[in-house]
Amino acid sequence: MFSLAPGVSLEATLARLEAGRYENADLAGAAAALRPLVAPARASTVLGDAAARKEIERAVAALAARAPRRLVRELIDHLPARERPLPARAEDLAHYGRYKLLVTESASKIRLDDIVMGSVRGRGFGSSLLQELCRYADHRSLPIVCTMMTDYPDLPRDASPEEYKAAQRTAERRLAGWYHRHGFRSSRPVDEWKSRTDLRREPGPHERKETT
């Protein structure tokens, strides 16, 4: 809800709902009524008014329950993980677009094949998605397995091998900490996790701070 990134803010999603007024006039009207309330709620939340945020979240959840399928995921992405409806299967969380999430479910486990946030990286979207997947896995009492993969460091062409290695290790530490905070474990200590380390998260209660 609070991202101001072009095209991915709640206001942008609501504007797309408004544009479908000929498809569903009632839904477009509800989106139009909600859109001017988002910015004040965002400001109030920054000042500590959780009630303002909750009101917007309730309104977004109500819109998601009525929205056309192509926009449901966009609306749900603006809700904290704890407020998102549980999917029927893990594959329902798969997404190709501004971000990529590849996941498969079998009778014994959930496989997180890839999660790449692209242009929306650093705004909490990835954490919310992983929390949503973990919540589903806990509900189904299934472990999640994955292989930790880091992106290639974005360095100038003339960067030295030492600079490349240092940047790669920094990225590995950051990603390892992210997975570890969400309950993933390995046979190695977390400070030894590197790219291609196999990880596993067992179902059950895990203490973690959700991204709102």
Range name among 5-14, 46-55, 82-91, 125-134 with the lowest pLDDT average: 5-14
Q: Are residues 66 and 39 in the same domain?
A: yes
117, 187: one domain: yes
- Distances in Å between the Cα of 110 and the Cα atoms of 15, 102, 104, 135, 146 are 35, 11, 6, 12, 9
Residue 205 pLDDT class (50, 70, 90 cuts): confident
Q: Do 94 and 197 belong together in one domain?
A: yes
- Taking residues 205-212, what's their average pLDDT? 55
Distance, in Å, from the CA atom of 162 to the CA atom of 178, rounded to the nearest integer, reads 25
Q: Which of the four pLDDT bands, split at 50, 70 and 90, describes residue 212?
A: very low
Residues 15 and 67 in one domain: yes
Residue 142 has pLDDT above 80, yes or no: yes
Whether 59 and 105 map to the same domain: the answer is no
Domain that holds residue 97: 90-201
The dihedrals phi and psi of 84, each to the nearest 5 degrees, come to -80, 140
- Between 48 and 35, residue with greater pLDDT: 35
What separation, in Å, do the N-terminal and C-terminal C-alpha atoms of the chain show? 8
Cβ contact 177:194 at 8 Å:
no
Quick one: pLDDT at residue 152? 76
Looking at 30, 47, 79, the residue that finishes a domain is: 79
Say what the pTM is.
0.81
Instruction: Give all strands of the β-sheet with 144-147 in edge-to-edge order.
Output: 95-96, 100-105, 110-116, 144-147, 198-201
Q: For position 208, what pLDDT does the model report?
A: 52
* Section 141-162 average pLDDT: 89
CATH of the domain at 187: 3.40.630.30
Q: Tell me if 64 is assigned to some domain.
A: yes
pLDDT band, residue 49 (cuts 50/70/90): confident
> Of 79, 99, 115, which marks where a domain is finished?
79
Task: In whole angstroms, give the CA distance from residue 91 to residue 112.
Answer: 10
Domain final residue pick, 27, 50, 79: 79
pLDDT tens per residue across span 84-134: 989 899 999 988 777 788 999 999 999 999 998 776 677 678 898 999 999
From 135, 109, 127, select the one nearest 181 (Cα to Cα).
127
pLDDT for residue 74: 84
Q: What whole-number percentage of the chain has pLDDT above 70? A: 90
Domains in the chain: how many in total? 2
C-alpha span between 201 and 136 (Å, rounded) = 12
Specify whether 101 is located in the same domain as 75: no
Same domain, 43 and 146: no
DSSP per residue, 123-189: TTHHHHHHHHHHHHHHHHT--EEEE--PPPP---TT--HHHHHHHHHHHHHHHHHHHHHTT-B-SS-
Per-residue pLDDT tens for 162-200? 998 999 999 999 999 999 999 999 999 999 999 999 999
Q: Are residues 120 and 56 in the same domain?
A: no
**210 found inside a domain:** no
